[in-house]
Amino acid sequence: MGSVLALSSSPGHHKWPFSTEPPPSRWDVHPAHWDSPPRWERRDGRLPNPGSFHSLHRSCKDVFPHQIEGVKMIVNKTLSSFFKVSHTLHLSAVSPSYYRFHVEHLQSDDYSKDKDAPALIGEMDSSGSLNAHALLHLSERVRARTVFQTQQSQFVTWQFETEYRGSDFTAAVTVANPDILRESVILVAHFLQSVSSGLVLGGELVYHRGRAEEGGILTLAGQYSRPNWVVTLNAGKGGAHVSYYHRANKQIQVGVEFEASTRTQETTTSFGYQMELPEANMVFRGMINSRCIIGGVLEKRLTPLPATLIMGAFVNHRGDKLQVGLGVNVG
Amino acid sequence: MGGVLAASPPPPAAGSSASPGLTVPPGFGMPSVSTVVPPAESPLPNPGAFDECHRRCKEVFPLQMEGVRVVVNKGLSNHFQVNHSVLLSTTGDSSYRFGATFVGSKQTGPAEFFPVMVGDMDNSGSLNAQIIHQVTSRVRSKLAFQTQQQKFVNWQGDAEFRGEDFTATVTLGNPDVLAGSGIVVAHYLQSVTPALALGGELVYHRRPGEEGSVTSLVGRYTGDNYVATVTLGSAGAHASYYHKANDQLQVGVEFEASARMQDTSVSFGYQLDVPKANLVFKGSVDSNWVVGATLEKKLLPLPLSLLLCSFLNHQKNKVQCGFGITVG
């Protein structure tokens, strides 16, 4: 919904949370409201930059637990301040087991804590599937991103995005899967404008063209933030997506999400919460869905070992299916 | 042995083989065979129940479980305990099971009270019931019933007699007077030396039209820190070796051969106890390419116990993982 991936053939958000989408890239993380000076506290009267279009719903989506299944072991190794490597081994009961190798190379180590840092990211699967992202800061205001995804030997996604971050607006243009031989392309244009200290308005225009058909979809977006909550709305001909995020206190965060799609003609309401217990080194995320899916994932840092234990279970009451997952993250 | 005899001088020429012309000085002849009864040997211990022979080795191996299990144990009094268990299964059906345990007041040992009545009921109506009672000081009897929903699947009774250095058990399984069928099992286990116990099992089964019997022999040798057991019979062989390496590590190796299914399997299992971390880890490797592990941790100060389990079948490329929480 509102993303290029929903139109392409790779598994997208409409099957979430039972989908197998890759974890969010570094560029999509929503700037947290309590880390950097919040926009309603700017003293100089200028409105802040609203961030990127992809990260509008991100603070609500981060509250929900990710689907976990089978046994997964992740070993993270930091080779230097520029270079990070991680090995993932996933033994699964429903999908084929795989080994994945992930590499991140930061362009400069000044931004090592910043999620928006320019970087080269590559991931290779044991079946040969490749996932490559390149994030570049062309200038202080212009950023470029390139994404390539292959399913074994076949290219599934190849997209190029350019984003201009003005003083109080963001404009981005994405060219996805341009294919000269088949004469098909997907063009996406995003625009977000800070209208007031809490309000951001914008829109997305998607134009897709194939050999036999072409069409365009316009979606309007709005986001209103307050110190403790954020409400975001995307509405257009393709459907609607409303999300509400609330931070109750330092430990509890709550998210409610409503998605309606005209293409699949169905609506879904989800309620999720995240509970952090820093004294117990524990984070618990739970969710319940209008599709009768209940899930919970518990993450616990096993100090003094540099390891994190993840346990999760998802129950689909309507289909009477249960998925249980265990994971260990080392390093 | 022979202490009394050495003190008395041997009778001259009665049992000695000295050559003629030589007199044997007193005390240097062969003691004669006398009819003094040798002092009693230290008594042989009771070898225990027949079913327990392979038990120590089997306890080292992890139990396979899948899905999510929540067990709540509640002790209502010294005699009565109740448990609820909910199992959400990934492969089969989810179930809720209610169990009750009653322990009587007749005490026979430091921690043994009789009669013991254990029953549990499934949400589909399947029942498991057992009554164990110490009838006399040497005879213990057990009745067990098992139903699958409303149909009785198993009903058996047995009586076990524990002698000084032997155990004999007779079990009558699924006796059906109307159909003329049933199974009779007789066990006998005898302590031959303080470390060695030998015994046998005779199974006689009868159905209208056919009857047959299976015999097997059992030998168990207990060392300082190891137990080796062998069962040989017409139905197959089963050998197990249990070794306690130190306070924390116990190891078990098991070999099973079945004549009916015509296959053999070897398993290696180990158990690691870390009492300081309230942790018990059990792992096993099998000749069927099955690798499994179980981790059990008590989450003090809560009366909770967490169980993580994962089994991997390399041959069929299947993985099963489950976890459980036990409360109380």
The DSSP secondary structure of A173-234, one letter per residue, reads EEEEEEETTTTEEEEEEEEEEE-SSSEEEEEEEEEEE-SS-EEEEEEEEEEEE-SSEEEEEE
**pLDDT at residue B252 is higher than 60:** yes
What pLDDT is stored for residue B99 in this prediction?
Answer: 96
Question: What is the structure's pLDDT at B4?
Answer: 44
Find the closest chain A residue to B319 by CA distance: A93
- Tell me whether B123 touches chain A (CB under 8 Å): no
Q: Is residue B203 part of a domain?
A: yes
Whether the pLDDT of residue A19 is over 50: the answer is: no
Of the pLDDT bands very low, low, confident and very high (cuts 50, 70, 90), residue B108 is confident
Q: Is residue B39 part of a domain?
A: no
Token pair 């003691």 in the structure block, residue: B31
The residue-averaged pLDDT of A132-138 equals 91
- Mean of pLDDT values over B287-305: 93
pLDDT of residue B6: 46
Please tell me if residue B315 touches chain A, with a CB cutoff of 8 Å.
no
Best A73, A309, A321, A324 residue to mutate vs chain B (most B CBs within 10 Å): A324
**Closest of B114, B121, B76 to residue B98, by C-alpha:** B121
- CB pair distance less than 8 Å for A322 and B317: no
In a domain, residue B215? The reply is: yes
The minimal CB distance from B321 to the residues A97, A320, A324 is found for A324
> Alpha-carbon distance A283 to B325, whole Å?
18
Domain coverage including residue B222:
50-76+161-327
- B322 and chain A: CB distance < 8 Å anywhere? yes
pLDDT of A24 higher than 60: no
Supply the DSSP string of A249-318, one letter for each residue.
Answer: SSSEEEEEEEEEETTTTEEEEEEEEEEEEGGGTEEEEEEEETTSEEEEEEEEEETTTTEEEEEEEEEETT
Q: Which residues 82-121 of chain B have a CB within 8 Å of chain A?
A: 88-90, 94
How much is the average pLDDT of A10-21?
A: 38
| B230 or B6: which leads in pLDDT | B230
Looking at residue B221, its pLDDT comes to 94
Closest Cα in chain B to A323: B90
B67/A contact by beta carbon, under 8 A: yes
B20 versus A48: the higher-pLDDT residue is A48
d(CA B129, CA B101): 10
Cross-chain CB nearest to A71 (options B90, B317, B321)? B321
Q: Which residues in chain B are closer than 8 Å to A92, comparing Cβ atoms?
A: 319
- The H-assigned helical ranges of chain B are 3-7, 55-58
Chain A environment of B89 (Cβ under 8 Å)? 322
% of chain A beyond a pLDDT of 90: 63
Name B49's Cβ contacts closer than 8 Å, sequence gap at least 6: B160, B167, B169, B189
Q: Is A218 on the interface with B (CB under 8 A)?
A: no
pLDDT single digits (tens) A117-131: 788 999 999 999 999
Residue B44 lies in a domain: no
Strand-strand pairing, B127-134 and A214-225: unpaired
Q: What is the CATH number of the domain that holds B67?
A: 2.40.160.10
Is residue B103 one of the residues assigned to a domain?
Answer: no
Q: Quick check: B16 and B29 in contact, CB under 8 A? A: yes
Whole-number pLDDT of residue A39 = 47
Residues 112-141 of A with CB under 8 A from B: none
Q: Please judge whether A315 and B88 are an interchain contact, meaning their C-beta atoms are less than 8 angstroms apart.
A: yes
Domain limits of chain A?
167-218
Name the domain count of chain B: 1
- Is the pLDDT at B27 greater than 80, yes or no? no
Whether the pLDDT of residue B2 is over 70: the answer is no
Q: Is the ipTM reported for this complex over the cut 0.85?
A: no
Surface of A (303-322) touching B: CB under 8 A: 311, 313, 315, 320-322
Q: Which pLDDT tens digit goes with each residue over B31-90?
A: 565 555 555 556 788 888 888 888 889 999 999 998 899 999 999 998 999 999 999 988
Tens of pLDDT, residue by residue over A284-295, are 999 999 999 999
> pLDDT grade, residue A11 (50/70/90)?
very low
A71 and B319: CB-CB below 8 Å?
Answer: yes
Residue B5 lies in a domain: no
Distance from CA of A66 to the nearest CA of B (A): 18
